[in-house]
Structure 1
Amino acid sequence: MEKACGLDVHKDSVFACILDEQGNKIFEKRFGTLTPELTSLRDTLVSHGCGRVAMESTSIYWMPVWHVLASDFSLKLANPYFIRQLPGRKSDVKDAHWIAQCLQKGLIKGSFVPEGVLQEMRQYGRQCFRLTKNRVRLEQQLDNQLQRCNIRFSNYVSNQGNNVSLRKIINALIQGERDRGKLARLVHGRIRNKHGDQVIGDSLDGVLCPTDIELLKQCMEQLDLFEKQQAACLNHLEELADKYYAREISLLCTIPGIQKYSAMCILSEIGNDMGAFGSASQLVGWAGLRPRNDESAGKIQSRKTLHGNKYLRKSLIQVSWSAARSKRSFLGKKYNQLSRRMKSQKALMAITRKILVIIFNVLKTGQPFDANRNLQAVTPG
């Protein structure tokens, strides 16, 4: 065995423990998380001749530590679930000691950490995810503000967030227009024909005060900003994908339910080298799509899926919904079969696992998806 170091990472501190070749503790110390202190940590590890370092994936706090140490050490990022402490051992110093022991005995399997372009794509993709979440929240706030003023036009449109007529009405209200007839003329003819001019006009007859107008104005400004930022992130993400991973994106787009945006997000999360995961089963476990094996005395305690990459999981579930609703896809037929004997959410999760296995095999073989050839590689749901 060689020297190993375990790091217990927190927001404001990093506890380091170094073990020698025999597994004896030779150094332990608390370091801060500012760059000079992380540099001191790196110099300390170098001076002790420690070549291997492991740390838990604690929120985003492990990332600065990883960036400082990546050039000098063999790093492993451990899932805290798999090296959870035994009762009675919980302390920061003992955590670091325990991580070092697990690393030295080969009990830690490092998580996948992308580098370079993939890391940049991952940041853009996750920012798009966050901006979409903020947009939805803001659209709900905008609708609540209109409902407060008894303007209920949103009750008669299917897509509140991107409805052109609704935005025209809100902008007209902000500019001071109150005539229900003029507001109704801003509504698309298809909506007026469906519900009638009288109903649409009544839904636009509300009571607004200056405070309502100001809040509507602020919501629209924030909404425009989020959309502008999201468009910029998508543009940068697409530029990187087209420049470095055009072939992989085209391969992923051959899988049912996957379009270009989903392909870019999935690739940024799992990378293009499937050798980092070893097998499709390990990738499914890393993504948090495998049911946990929680059984005691012959009684099943839980079959909930494990915690995994939430951004990858969200993209895959959206893809699964698309594939499950397709009548021409074999995945749609499989979803219909499964949903007859289990809950629809469980059936969807089974389809999600199948899609991830297909993604693994497509990227590993470098061949486009073909249902007749690739079905044999898909594990049972």
Structure 2
Amino acid sequence: MAKKKRKYRKLERSLPVMRANAGGIDIGATEIFVAVPADRDTESVRSFPTFTQDLHALADWLQQCRVDTVAMESTGVYWIPLFQILEARGIEVHLVNAQHVHHVPGRKSDVLDCQWLQYLHSVGLLRASFRPEHAVCEIRSLMRHRENLVQMACVHVQHMQKSLDQMNLQIHHVISDITGVTGLAIVDAIVAGNTNPKELAKLRDHRIKASIETVTKSLVGDYRPEHIFTLKQSLTAYRHYQKLIADCDQEVQQRVEAFQSNDDGPTAAADSSSATSPTAPSFDLHSHLERIFGVDLTAIPGFDVLRIQTIFSELGADMSPFPTDDTFCSWLNVCPKDGTSAGRRIRTPKVKTKNR
């Protein structure tokens, strides 16, 4: 429900109105301020709590005021629930960069943020930030979560290596990957109580380049129970995150398989053999991406499956929002700022932006 009525200063307009039905929303963690055109309600600015039922009440009020487009700043993740509710109601939502709002001159100190947003949006001075379609947003959320899981799994691998170093076991310096077949087999045996270097070296896979003598020497150390305990817990945590990553891969696979293709060919069958990286998904992502884009983008030098998947999950397969390579580079913030004075280029600091 709306809170107690307050009196707010009316904003003086000096530019022609381009969007007569525009609204402005200032989002906070516990309270949201909304401004509508002054002629739509006796109280053109209202505040709402951030509970779900209040977000629906906010949407109802906007529709009662005949507001069909609103502007809001991308404040953390607080904007996402309201964005989705308004989008489902058919209200056009412009998610704007806070820097674009604050750099517009002429604002009075006693004007609320929502009033300023409503005014700038109504006169056409705000540009909506890029947001992909809903299906891509689902995949994006899952892939960002998966990336966090991979990072946390890597942290526990580092903890395992630290425990080995504390016992002066050099096995992770002899083999390339402690989480490979040989590494995990040896670590499993150590946490199970086997500390005999010769017996542990017998777990060496035939593909390991280091000789069995070198592996044996690397497993001679000061086995202490406290370090074996920390090694065991780190191994358990690593495998727990591997299970979470596998579950996340299943969710990603379902959505990627259902994504509309640019190619009329059949849906690719899952094939785990296509994984080229220890952190790659457990299904045949390469074939699905080729089906979606209609072309094998991994043929581009420097682009592997995971990199293409990151691009797809952040942008989708439709690049029409970026008509030129210049606009795309500007969105990525990889182009220099064009500052000139009296016909000469001047040094300008790089604008910090975050699109993820």
Normalised by the length of structure 2, the TM-score is: 0.75
Counterpart residue number, 1:216: 231
* 1:285 matched to 2:337: no
Q: CA deviation at 1:259?
A: 4.3
Q: Which has the higher helix share?
A: 1
Whole-Å separation in 2 of the counterparts to 1:150 and 1:55: 56
Q: Which residue identity lines up with residue 207 of structure 1 in the other structure?
A: D
* 1:164 matched to 2:208: no
Q: CA deviation at 1:263?
A: 3.2
**Aligned to 1:299, which of 315, 325, 346?**
346
Whole-Å separation in 2 of the counterparts to 1:150 and 1:89: 65
Counterparts in 2 of 1:225 and 1:293: CA distance versus 1, 3 Å: farther
* 1:256 matched to 2:300: yes
Counterparts in 2 of 1:246 and 1:51: CA distance versus 1, 3 Å: closer
* Mapping 1:7-156, distance limit 5 Å: 7-20=25-38, 27-72=44-89, 73-84=91-102, 94-156=112-174
**Aligned to 2:311, which of 266, 271, 274?**
266
Whole-Å separation in 2 of the counterparts to 1:111 and 1:52: 14
Counterparts in 2 of 1:216 and 1:245: CA distance versus 1, 3 Å: farther
Counterparts in 2 of 1:147 and 1:185: CA distance versus 1, 3 Å: same
Give RMSD over aligned pairs: 3.1
Deviations 1:104-139 (CA, angstroms, capped at 9, x unpaired): 111222122233322222122212211122122221
* 1:207 matched to 2:225: no
Asked whether the equivalents of residues 16 and 93 of structure 1 are also in contact (C-alpha less than 8 Å), the reply is no
Whole-Å separation in 2 of the counterparts to 1:306 and 1:62: 21
Counterparts in 2 of 1:66 and 1:50: CA distance versus 1, 3 Å: same
Asked whether the equivalents of residues 290 and 305 of structure 1 are also in contact (C-alpha less than 8 Å), the reply is no
Whole-Å separation in 1 of the counterparts to 2:136 and 2:219: 48
Q: CA deviation at 1:206?
A: 2.5
Q: CA deviation at 1:30?
A: 2.6
Q: CA deviation at 1:144?
A: 1.4
Q: Which residue identity lines up with residue 280 of structure 1 in the other structure?
A: D
Q: Which runs of 5+ in 1 are unaligned?
A: 311-381
How many residues of Structure 1 are paired with residues of Structure 2 in the alignment? 305
Whole-Å separation in 2 of the counterparts to 1:138 and 1:218: 9
Deviations 1:134-189 (CA, angstroms, capped at 9, x unpaired): 122221122112212222211223334x3222211111111001111111222234
Counterparts in 2 of 1:231 and 1:247: CA distance versus 1, 3 Å: farther
Counterparts in 2 of 1:87 and 1:156: CA distance versus 1, 3 Å: farther
Whole-Å separation in 2 of the counterparts to 1:279 and 1:203: 56
Whole-Å separation in 2 of the counterparts to 1:300 and 1:154: 48
Whole-Å separation in 1 of the counterparts to 2:62 and 2:158: 51
Q: CA deviation at 1:253?
A: 2.0
Q: CA deviation at 1:53?
A: 0.6
Asked whether the equivalents of residues 17 and 29 of structure 1 are also in contact (C-alpha less than 8 Å), the reply is yes
Counterparts in 2 of 1:260 and 1:152: CA distance versus 1, 3 Å: closer
Counterpart residue number, 2:14: none
Whole-Å separation in 2 of the counterparts to 1:260 and 1:200: 34
Counterparts in 2 of 1:86 and 1:280: CA distance versus 1, 3 Å: closer
Q: CA deviation at 1:55?
A: 0.8
Fraction of identical pairs, as percent: 26
Q: Which residue identity lines up with residue 140 of structure 2 in the other structure?
A: R
Asked whether the equivalents of residues 151 and 204 of structure 1 are also in contact (C-alpha less than 8 Å), the reply is yes
Counterpart residue number, 1:315: none
Q: Which residue identity lines up with residue 337 of structure 2 in the other structure?
A: R
Q: Which runs of 5+ in 2 are unaligned?
A: 1-16, 264-288
Deviations 1:49-88 (CA, angstroms, capped at 9, x unpaired): 2221111111211101101211231111112232235799
Larger radius of gyration between Structure 1 and Structure 2: 2
* 1:180 matched to 2:226: no
Whole-Å separation in 2 of the counterparts to 1:8 and 1:87: 19
Whole-Å separation in 1 of the counterparts to 2:39 and 2:322: 28
Q: Which residue identity lines up with residue 258 of structure 2 in the other structure?
A: K
Asked whether the equivalents of residues 33 and 47 of structure 2 are also in contact (C-alpha less than 8 Å), the reply is yes
Secondary structure of 2:120's aligned partner: helix
